[in-house]
Structure 1
């Protein structure tokens, strides 16, 4: 049996643990339209997936010259919460996969701690992963900067080169690689259409996969 090269698995939340990206992009597109921004849900996914709301506001200002209000994040989170309570589901196969993993686990997400907690409780995974939940709120720079992943590794007491990150977004893959970690790109959530895995490959993912059930074997036999 190949010796395990990892001491910690770091999961992104949206699009990896919970199948939320289609829901979130629909809501974001509708909210941006209130401020005269015609950005479709697909464009929201392409431009903002994996980014914090702080970074979304920065991108909108830089590209469109529109400064979103101070309470934009709060209003968007309220809408997210309502829709998630009705429609959020776990990523297919994730619960069984978590049960098969015998390494320390944590979550590092661009979402707020409140959002991460709410999403995991709605989908029944909170007890599996709490209290090791890390948010971009905890660092000065969100993804694609490496800060969040390095912070998570430090708090978990694991060297970055012994960490495996599971990500679904290009900005997340970039952040993991900048942190000196191995990055597996997951392309199996509902927002990941044709060409999505190839995009993650081009971004620098060490491996891409489409079925969450494959993860334990990919880890077991992975060689750096």
Structure 2
């Protein structure tokens, strides 16, 4: 089995910070968004795809350095405010199986997130949507991660907090554990992940080890 983790909202509790800063910057460019709007439309989506969708929807052109400006703000806030998902380190250490990270974020953001939350030592293999033609909900990133790790899709279990991520994993032929323990998840989030194709949904990382073991036993 290969265990594939999304980063934002699964390993680190970043989505609330990210959506707020994203909305503030968009509003500065006369594209009024709230943090809730950003969360609803873009969680799990790469920043490149987000910009393309906004430009197409509103018939505008954001500044060429929009992504760089947003990342500068995010990185500064992450250095001071970013926290790991509660219990995630202990859950991962309780699972002696091959693992990696596959995130829609750029590699620099993933590395920073893991460093400031003390999780860097848990992952030797990190994959970003910048490495594939299409981001989530397309399956490209998860298939790339599996290929690089020497695993077939049927042997992979993905831990995801976004509908786009769940859809990507399902499209890749992988089983998915939906996670609703991030600060951005409301009471209906689990239902959305199930509707997107998550096999099971957990709301705390203490439930991850036994859930993964259940997948292992069902496959044997």
How far apart, CA to CA, are the structure 1 residues paired with 2:54 and 2:132? 21
| TM-score, structure 1 as length reference | 0.95
Distance (Å, rounded) in 2 between the aligned partners of 1:89 and 1:219: 24
Corresponding residue to 2:199 among 175, 181, 206? 206
Q: Which runs of 4+ in 1 moved over 3 A?
A: none
Stretch of structure 1 that moved more, 165-174 or 64-73: 64-73
Residue aligning to 1:64 = 58
How big is the shift at 1:80? 0.3
- Counterpart of 1:153 in structure 2 is 146
Aligned residues: 217
Aligned residue in 1 for 2:32: 38
Paired with 1:136 and 1:218, the residues of 2 have a C-alpha distance of: 27
Map 1:1-224 onto structure 2 (within 5 A).
7-130=1-124, 132-222=125-215, 223=218
Cα deviation, residue 61, structure 1: 1.3
How far did residue 220 of structure 1 move? 1.1
Kindly state the Cα deviation for residue 63 of structure 1 after the two structures are TM-superposed: 1.3
Q: What secondary structure, in the 3-state scheme, does the structure 1 residue paired with 2:142 have? A: helix
Q: Which runs of 5+ in 2 are unaligned?
A: none
TM-score by length of 2: 0.97
Q: CA RMSD for the aligned pairs?
A: 0.8
Deviation of 1:191 after TM superposition, in Å, equals: 0.6
- Residues 134-155 of structure 1 deviation map (CA, whole Å, 9 limit, x = unaligned): 0001011111110000000000
Deviation for aligned residue 1:129:
0.6
